């Protein structure tokens, strides 16, 4: 029984982590972490991603997502939509979240404020767990389908050379008991995400973009990403990301033209998990539609 409970604890913690995931390619799909980036490309943008985490590890997380967002012409507002499907262990989750942002101008600086909201549909298949001790069968009952609402908030402050980002992607807490799913709002369970970065022009062909991102809860040790991307002629981008106590990630992006980009990243664990997996892979396609007419806000600076 103790062994089974240990497995359930691992799966439960994983589901919470997936609820506000830190994907390797968030710098190319910023709306996933901060709704204030909605419309930041200056045109209608679509990003499709597929993440396969901890290859070779049974029950490891996989995530498929599709994000679309665009500024509303002749206004300072933007709208977006994110669809996703998560699988981790015995948990299956699908969701749809809308986002809205409004841009304010202050001389050479701009501030974008964003809100997001939507629902996730979750089901846990406890019957698929392997029975270890006698008597475990009594708790091997699948959960009912849960429809779980959530809300998010974000801010994005920037100019042409640097940016700051703050967000709370998910504000509500979800739990499951024998009485069903419960939704609550506890500030202690908020995942705060704070980051920023700058651009350094090495020469006319090469630019460097160092950035940092920190994810934390109150009274906990932050998880920090240290990133460095190098751009060559706006054609190829190469980078590395170090996530404290978790992973080292290599990133590659090729811009086939001004609209279509291919993105790949590989992460290798630096924790004890590295003994059981060959790493994590993430693939993305990004397409930015080019408008024939001018829009209210050009592309903003961020990750």
Joined together, the tokens standing for residue 206 give: 């090469």
* Residue spans of the chain under pLDDT 50: 1-19, 292-297
229 burial class (0-12, 13-18, 19+ CB within 10 angstroms)?
A: buried
Domain ranges of the chain: 2-288
pLDDT, position 296? 45
The CA angle 120-122-125, to the nearest 5 degrees, is 170
How much of the chain exceeds pLDDT 90, in percent?
A: 58
Q: Is 56 exposed, middle or buried (0-12, 13-18, 19+ CB in 10 A)?
A: exposed
pLDDT in tens, 68-107: 999 998 899 999 999 999 998 888 999 999 999 999 999 8
Distance of alpha carbon 118 from alpha carbon 67, whole angstroms: 14
For residue 216, give both structure tokens.
């934390």
Alpha-carbon distance 117 to 268, whole Å? 32
Instruction: Return the DSSP state at 21.
Output: -
| 123, 264, 169, 55: CA torsion to nearest 10 | 40
| Residue of 54, 93, 83, 63 whose CA lies nearest to 283 | 63
Q: How many CB atoms lie within 10 A of CB 185?
A: 10
Q: What is the pLDDT of residue 177?
A: 77
Q: What is the pLDDT of residue 135?
A: 59
Residues 154, 113: Cα–Cα separation, whole Å: 6
- What is the rounded CA–CA span in Å between residue 31 and residue 34? 5
**Pairing state of beta strands 45-52 and 62-71?**
antiparallel
Tokens of 23: 């994907």
Please tell me the number of Cα atoms within 13 Å of 235 on its side-chain side: 4
Chain-centroid distance of CA 248 in Å reads: 17
pLDDT at 139: 63
* pTM of the full structure: 0.85
| Partners of 285 in the β-ladder | 48, 262
Q: Which two tokens stand for residue 246?
A: 């978790």
Find the helix or strand (DSSP H, E) in which 16 lies.
helix 2-19
pLDDT of residue 136: 58
2-288 in CATH: which number?
2.40.160.40
Task: Identify the pLDDT of residue 182.
Answer: 86
Strands (E), the chain: 45-52, 62-71, 77-88, 91-106, 109-124, 146-158, 162-168, 173-177, 180-184, 192-198, 200-201, 206-216, 223-232, 236-243, 247-255, 260-269, 280-288
- 32-48 pLDDT, tens digit each: 999 999 999 999 999 99
Per DSSP, 18 falls in state: H
C-alpha to C-alpha distance for 150 and 183, rounded to whole angstroms: 9
Q: What are phi and psi of 12, to 5 degrees?
A: -65, -45
């Amino acid at each position: 029984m103790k062994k089974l409970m240990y497995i359930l604890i691992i799966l439960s913690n994983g589901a919470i982590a997936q609820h506000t995931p830190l994907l390797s390619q968030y710098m190319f799909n910023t709306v996933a972490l901060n709704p204030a980036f909605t419309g930041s490309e200056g045109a209608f943008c679509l990003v499709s991603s597929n993440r396969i985490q901890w290859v070779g590890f049974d029950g490891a997380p996989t995530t498929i997502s599709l994000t679309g967002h665009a500024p509303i012409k002749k206004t300072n507002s933007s709208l977006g939509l994110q669809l996703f499907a998560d699988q981790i262990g015995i948990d299956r989750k699908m969701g749809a979240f809308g986002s809205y942002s409004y841009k304010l101008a202050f001389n050479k600086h701009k501030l974008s404020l964003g809100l997001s909201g939507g629902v996730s549909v979750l089901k846990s298949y406890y019957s698929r767990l392997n029975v270890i001790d006698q008597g475990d069968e009594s708790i091997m009952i699948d959960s009912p389908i849960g429809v779980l609402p959530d809300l998010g908030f974000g801010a994005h402050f920037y100019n042409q050379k640097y940016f700051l980002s703050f967000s709370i992607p998910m504000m509500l807490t979800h739990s499951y008991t024998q009485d069903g799913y419960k939704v609550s709002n506890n500030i202690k369970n908020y995942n705060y995400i704070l980051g920023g970065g700058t651009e350094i022009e090495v020469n006319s062909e090469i630019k460097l973009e160092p950035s940092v991102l920190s994810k934390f809860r109150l009274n906990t040790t932050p998880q920090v990403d240290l990133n460095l991307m190098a751009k060559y002629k706006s054609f190829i981008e190469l980078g590395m990301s170090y996530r404290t106590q978790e992973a080292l990630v290599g990133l590659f992006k090729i811009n086939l033209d001004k609209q279509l980009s291919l993105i790949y990243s590989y992460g290798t664990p630096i924790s004890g998990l590295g003994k059981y997996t060959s790493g994590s892979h993430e693939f993305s396609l990004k397409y930015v539609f080019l408008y024939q007419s001018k829009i209210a806000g050009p592309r903003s600076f961020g990750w």
